[in-house]
Structure 1
């Protein structure tokens, strides 16, 4: 379970309104789309629904979407942290966890019955205004999902024992430590305390305080449940392969007998205004100064909300934003900026943020932020800025609404509207309000709310200031007598009907005029085209001795071409609603495009120009290098960043091409890079002979091919192509590397073991066996470290498949005082699984059944299909691999799975990387029987380079 912000305004999409059969080549889309067409498109967006209310007050909303045989089940409770009184902070989030630990008629972890039916996107979240639970299940499993949701709504308390409370309290506290352990991880507390009075409903974080969580007793948490979680305090949304006529008797059957409880009382909320500007300073172990300026502003239902959303985009949300253009690109005072409005149900928080470029006076950055805001308030945004912000906002919702559930699908849109605005169709009103914004309306709202005094927090590098949470010692493990949960009275879980098989789209292949292979699948749920041009390069092609060259080259693609500068590239993407992104795995370098299909032709002109004609201009490179070097410094303050830099050479061997995967690269090499270096890498690796183009689109293959031929068909490589060689490296002997990171409330454990496997071996057997060891929430290692011992928020392990290697890697952030015991427990868990306690029949049945039943949910979206197409190609699997995978699962046997993982993995081969406070952690490691090497975090990337040429003002 995790806390996540899901804004009400993220609820509609341009995608549902463009005529699917409009001829692609009738005419090119105009370069700039005016606001009227956008408003017209949003007007046509529709998520049709029906609703009814049970006698006990449960409100039910139903949306029918038959594209896949799955149903999203989403239950939203009108209880969040704003309802918590003093002394009970964190209770709503704690109960989110408790409600996953079984109920009277479904004892045990809720993830077990959900996984066994093939549920996807199942989770729960808590925030200021609500607690929600959601899962997407095969249609045939809807009865079981409704039984489970109704049981934890109406029949929970008999299963909540002292042991369950202690277990989930520990998990939540480690979730809190995990957040606090990040660079700038304490800023959320300071900002909320600075903006809101202590007794304000929004005046404390959702995670709560350690002291309040420790003080929670079994009686107090049960009273909390009785006061808030009744059916009349909830909204149930069903979206997908379902209709209201079918849904009503099912909902009546499972929820109708639950008695109503007290209704949550909407707290009285004011939008506080500070009497004068506040400038606070805090120290943290960070690499760069952060300046964060904040205001309390109106919430979702206020008429000014839409204007503030647009204001945030124009100021710091768009790639072409005012802050990015001035502070990062032109004046080179900052390495990262942002601005945004975060609207909640009754209030919002508006934030402007800048990470100061090392060597720059923070006072200058603060002054320029004030001046940029003052100019915005005085003159407002331009018409073009508003159009770009609106277009980006609308098209950015396409991906979420292709899904019926999850964190941002159609069920979320309907539930948020019902709960926060008493209107499931509120998403449409919100989208129309966004589309209707003008420079005048945005200026008026910004001037009204952002001219008020701000709370400014400056975080400076230094030893982290002592804070109250750090003074609370980890709760001692207190054994409790076994308790007998209340026995259920509703009978067994409903049976699951016949689950419809996956209908994976037909994958077709073609070739462009110059021979580039085109791999295509048609998806018509939304009129959007997604393209990924994958080059046979990747991290393994990075330049030995100049690690980071590829990453710098990719970062420079959108910083200017022979025809467009970086400002033009950013603005053109925003006008088209296009999203162009580059990335690299160990084996492939990819440049992706996502765009509404109506704008495919002009977007491809831009996309091809970025890929084929990057300029690598000196001035842009100097700025990009400064940003990259600052990013590496930030990596060296992050527990995950440090561990990820240290492990690859150890597990692959220093001479393996895959050992080059060391974060942002070598800072000394990056400082010395020249435009010629980047151009040479680009010429050697981003060339048509090394390219394959993957596409999912509502447009037919012939149209897509013609459009791609128009921009790539005449492309020819020049000069010598890059060549990769794969000599296996020699992995490190088993030992522990302890990276000293003082004052860490958690230790980050990353462990890796080499295996004889390669990704091209097809690891389906090993991955299925690993479902029981480390590949799922119910795995042995997560159950042990998180659920049984509650030393972590989550532990995972799995084969990290690359084309020519597949080491096994485990990740475990654990509370600092349990670092040594956690490593000992992980070693025991892995050893027993591979020797005396292999995968059992229950785990086998759950893994196989869950894998088969989840296939339709896993491939509900075009993005999932596109990723599968690329994986199949990389690992040399047939294009119909997923269309035939059910038969592969059904043919597996338990002995076969155990043999597959036992032959691949040796528990004695692990090398361990621990990032934590050496003074408290090393004594725990010394007794584990492995050599311990201690290094300082600052030394992980080697000596710092001199300032790169041209980097100064």
Structure 2
């Protein structure tokens, strides 16, 4: 369960009437759709009613898929916690997932059975929320479950459940704290807010307060805050108010009101004087922070400050990026953000100092740029670009009815914080009306106040405040209360997935278009996929591909990097570049009214990258800094050693060496990048995948006018998988990362599988071993032993090899025991117990029922289309997958898992503090190799 849920303006956007213009002759001929047109079309129609017990209910109808998002928001977060009870709101969020009186056991079990998607819970300063998206025929069951934990929880709450979830939460805290800069939030909150301020402590709380939580404490917390009159229920999707009201009354109507959860007074504090501090952390470069407490949602200046943050360090062409990174080359990364809560907010700016540069010089320039914006304000073009990007970013998440964003979030947060589900409209209207003058006034008002300046320097961390031993609770032998509401409601017939029809056509030069139509929102998503990927990186110059892709967005022969960034921002378009194991992708997202102009830019990036020498040197420096950062990050360290161990050093897949070999990257030239582009990013290696509300004929016309005459240059690159490559023998590689309160464990086992095999049986089998929350390894290490916040296992599917990987971040003092437990769990599953009938039934039924929710969005459809093409499956694969699931048998799944995964072939990577961890590993029966973190910088 997540602590944070950032406010996403997930709102429905009515279809825009403006047609895509015919392909313009010149790149600048098509004008972007005005922000006002986008904003005015945003609407989420809803109906609202309130039960006699005070439960507020909002219903939004969206018939695009047979699913319903259920979202329950409680007016309780960490700002309600008294002194000595920090972390209670979040701890209680976890407790709400461990069963209620009429639905005992793990809350995820009945959700998995009905095919729920996007199910979780989050806590932050202002609220706790729970959400799931379910097939429409399963809505009654979801309402039963949510109402049962609202009204019938305490009888199922035991000391054992409290102890279990306390341990899980403390490992969630360790996991966050273990990251580079992971302790900054504590310093930020402590410096900007008085200790007794409602926002004066972090949501995760302190180890000591979590240790001190008693069963009576948490039960009283529930009694004080979780009544129906303190909650908002949103239903969004294939439902209407006439159908919803009797169901909500049936399941929630009998729950009595609780005490009113009064929102505490929370002013925006101002420091008496500027404050500067320095802290040490095991980071790769010095980071300079500037921070202020600022207004929240209840103040109109919060929107203006969003614009300020965008202009300062949010846009690709932001002032800090242009000055400190591009022109003066003093920093390798900059950012600015305005995080808005209900009553206050946090405005944060930071710059990562370029290695070799004096931090004092960067600090001086950082303050000068901020001061200039305070004094003069932004330009009209800057304001417009931020507003366009904000609305476009909203559109990117519009299709989801629930989950972490989407329409349910928008309606619920508006009602909870502002007593107005339509509050998003006011925010968007305010955004559209912002001017340089209004933004400058808000900036001057709030950022002219004394600043908190924090410098984080590389160095050993201060001693970590670990958990203690909770006081032993008195024995409680009373059995859990028996339920009185009867069995869970039955689930009606759930229709099979209707996957969009996939069509194919070609451009004049032979590039194939793979297309699907999705009309829910007026956006176009496009991937130009090249047969390249990690395997195409030159073996002796690892990092060439990443530098090439980074440079693709840093200017063309007709636009420098700033001009290109500004042009994208005016359109609300996003052009990206990435590489998977087998494919290299250049992507475009755009509101469809701007399709023509956006494809103009996309074509310029794809066909005409400038690779300007000065820009190459700058971006190369940023990549080298990224490599240094990977050496301080647990996941980054593991990713740099894993491929060579599990694939073998001769495999092209072994080239997935983080961000590259620093010695090789330092020697790369402009000619190396051009050579890579010509060999791999070329039309004869390309396919274009498109999901859009626009018809295929229009898409083809637009694309053909830009790419139809594009021709390849020189010989094409080749990948050779014919050379035998042997994975490492089983062993433990311990990467020494001092001061780590947690160890990251990666278990990797080679398999005989290749991606073009039909892997559905082994993927379905892994559902029970490591593939979901209820899997064996997660339930053991998280829920049973509470040594981890979460453990997972997955087949890492690639075209020519597909190893099995386990990821388990665990508390440092349980590292050896955790590996032993994982070894035992995997061996038992594969050689003894196998899949049980309940596990099999839950997997197959749940997978079939989840399909409509899994493919709700255009991005999910786009991903499926690419996978089908890569693994040589028919375009209608997902249209027929329901029948494939129904044909699977339990013995077939057992056999598939046992044929694929050998429990005796696991290689274990551990990233942790060797002084604490090494003694735990020697008894596991495997050779142990210890290497310092710095030694994995280069290929070994």
* Short-chain TM bin: over 0.9
| Equivalent residues of 1:548, 1:664 under 8 A apart | yes
Q: CA deviation at 1:942?
A: 3.0
Structure 1 unaligned blocks of 5 or more: 945-953
Q: CA deviation at 1:22?
A: 5.9
Q: Report SS of the residue matched to 1:79.
A: coil
* In structure 1, C-alpha distance between the alignment counterparts of 2:411 and 2:37, rounded to whole Å: 21
Q: Residue 728 of structure 2 aligns with which residue?
A: 732
In the alignment, does 2:920 pair up with 1:928? no
Which of residues 520, 543, 550 is equivalent to 1:548?
543
Give a deviation string over 1:573-597, Cα, whole Å, max 9, x none: 0000101111101100000000011
Q: Superposed, which structure 2 residues align to 1:482-521 within 5 Å?
A: 484-521=479-516
| Equivalent residues of 1:32, 1:576 under 8 A apart | no
* In structure 1, C-alpha distance between the alignment counterparts of 2:73 and 2:274, rounded to whole Å: 37
Q: Residue 611 of structure 2 aligns with which residue?
A: 616
Q: Superposed, which structure 2 residues align to 1:698-713 within 5 Å?
A: 698-713=693-708
Which of residues 567, 573, 584 is equivalent to 2:568?
573
Q: Superposed, which structure 2 residues align to 1:333-344 within 5 Å?
A: 333-344=330-341
Q: Residue 949 of structure 1 aligns with which residue?
A: none
Q: Cα RMSD between the aligned structures?
A: 1.6
Structure 1 residues 30, 617: CA separation in 2 closer, same or farther (over 3 Å shift)? Answer: closer
Q: CA deviation at 1:400?
A: 1.5
Q: Report SS of the residue matched to 1:769.
A: helix
Q: Residue 758 of structure 1 aligns with which residue?
A: 754
Give a deviation string over 1:2-55, Cα, whole Å, max 9, x none: 1223226x2446x434127666559999769689x3224312211000000000
* In structure 2, C-alpha distance between the alignment counterparts of 1:537 and 1:659, rounded to whole Å: 14
Q: Report SS of the residue matched to 1:134.
A: strand
Query: Runs ≥4 in structure 1, deviation > 3 angstroms?
Result: 20-35, 472-483
Which of residues 381, 393, 413 is equivalent to 1:416?
413
* In structure 1, C-alpha distance between the alignment counterparts of 2:905 and 2:30, rounded to whole Å: 58
Q: CA deviation at 1:437?
A: 0.4
Q: Residue 601 of structure 2 aligns with which residue?
A: 606
Which of residues 692, 695, 698 is equivalent to 1:697?
692
Q: CA deviation at 1:475?
A: 5.8
Give a deviation string over 1:796-850, Cα, whole Å, max 9, x none: 0011000010000000000000000000000000000001110110000000001
Which of residues 834, 840, 846 is equivalent to 2:842?
846
* In structure 1, C-alpha distance between the alignment counterparts of 2:262 and 2:288, rounded to whole Å: 37
Q: Residue 304 of structure 1 aligns with which residue?
A: 301
Q: Residue 5 of structure 1 aligns with which residue?
A: 5
TM-score by length of 1: 0.97
Q: CA deviation at 1:613?
A: 1.2
Q: Superposed, which structure 2 residues align to 1:823-838 within 5 Å?
A: 823-838=819-834
Q: Report SS of the residue matched to 1:372.
A: helix
* In structure 2, C-alpha distance between the alignment counterparts of 1:479 and 1:645, rounded to whole Å: 48
Q: Residue 222 of structure 1 aligns with which residue?
A: 219
* In structure 2, C-alpha distance between the alignment counterparts of 1:674 and 1:784, rounded to whole Å: 50
Q: Residue 948 of structure 1 aligns with which residue?
A: none
* In structure 2, C-alpha distance between the alignment counterparts of 1:264 and 1:617, rounded to whole Å: 59
In the alignment, does 2:397 pair up with 1:400? yes
Q: Residue 777 of structure 2 aligns with which residue?
A: 781
Q: Report SS of the residue matched to 1:546.
A: coil
Q: Residue 661 of structure 2 aligns with which residue?
A: 666
In the alignment, does 2:804 pair up with 1:791? no
Give a deviation string over 1:514-567, Cα, whole Å, max 9, x none: 001110000000111110000000000100111010011000001111111100
Q: Residue 86 of structure 2 aligns with which residue?
A: 89
Q: Residue 444 of structure 1 aligns with which residue?
A: 441
Q: Report SS of the residue matched to 2:678.
A: helix
Give a deviation string over 1:844-892, Cα, whole Å, max 9, x none: 0000001000000000000000000000000000000000000000001
Q: CA deviation at 1:301?
A: 1.9
Q: Residue 680 of structure 1 aligns with which residue?
A: 675
| Equivalent residues of 2:730, 2:905 under 8 A apart | yes
* In structure 2, C-alpha distance between the alignment counterparts of 1:416 and 1:719, rounded to whole Å: 56
Q: Report SS of the residue matched to 1:16.
A: coil
Give a deviation string over 1:46-72, Cα, whole Å, max 9, x none: 100000000000000000000000000
Structure 1 residues 477, 327: CA separation in 2 closer, same or farther (over 3 Å shift)? Answer: farther
Q: CA deviation at 1:660?
A: 0.8
| Equivalent residues of 2:208, 2:468 under 8 A apart | no
TM-score by length of 2: 0.98
Which of residues 228, 233, 250 is equivalent to 1:231?
228
| Equivalent residues of 2:101, 2:155 under 8 A apart | yes
In the alignment, does 2:811 pair up with 1:815? yes
Which of residues 646, 652, 667 is equivalent to 2:647?
652
Q: Report SS of the residue matched to 1:342.
A: strand
Which of residues 277, 281, 284 is equivalent to 1:284?
281
Which of residues 243, 247, 258 is equivalent to 1:246?
243
Structure 1 residues 218, 833: CA separation in 2 closer, same or farther (over 3 Å shift)? Answer: same
Q: Report SS of the residue matched to 2:646.
A: helix
Q: CA deviation at 1:480?
A: 7.0
* In structure 1, C-alpha distance between the alignment counterparts of 2:127 and 2:645, rounded to whole Å: 44
Q: Report SS of the residue matched to 2:549.
A: helix
In the alignment, does 2:526 pair up with 1:531? yes
* In structure 2, C-alpha distance between the alignment counterparts of 1:655 and 1:235, rounded to whole Å: 57
* In structure 2, C-alpha distance between the alignment counterparts of 1:919 and 1:560, rounded to whole Å: 48
Structure 1 residues 259, 924: CA separation in 2 closer, same or farther (over 3 Å shift)? Answer: same
Q: Residue 715 of structure 2 aligns with which residue?
A: 720
Q: Report SS of the residue matched to 1:559.
A: coil
Q: Residue 14 of structure 2 aligns with which residue?
A: 16
Q: Residue 640 of structure 1 aligns with which residue?
A: 635
Q: Superposed, which structure 2 residues align to 1:338-357 within 5 Å?
A: 338-357=335-354
Q: Report SS of the residue matched to 1:774.
A: helix
Q: Residue 433 of structure 1 aligns with which residue?
A: 430
Give a deviation string over 1:470-517, Cα, whole Å, max 9, x none: 4x4466999977762111000010000001211110000001100011
* In structure 1, C-alpha distance between the alignment counterparts of 2:740 and 2:182, rounded to whole Å: 11
Structure 1 residues 534, 22: CA separation in 2 closer, same or farther (over 3 Å shift)? Answer: closer
Q: Residue 203 of structure 2 aligns with which residue?
A: 206
Structure 2 unaligned blocks of 5 or more: none
In the alignment, does 2:624 pair up with 1:629? yes
* In structure 1, C-alpha distance between the alignment counterparts of 2:27 and 2:236, rounded to whole Å: 34
Which of residues 327, 331, 334 is equivalent to 1:330?
327
* In structure 1, C-alpha distance between the alignment counterparts of 2:802 and 2:478, rounded to whole Å: 44
Q: Residue 895 of structure 1 aligns with which residue?
A: 891
Q: Residue 947 of structure 1 aligns with which residue?
A: none
| Equivalent residues of 1:316, 1:352 under 8 A apart | yes
Which of residues 98, 106, 116 is equivalent to 1:119?
116
* In structure 2, C-alpha distance between the alignment counterparts of 1:402 and 1:864, rounded to whole Å: 11
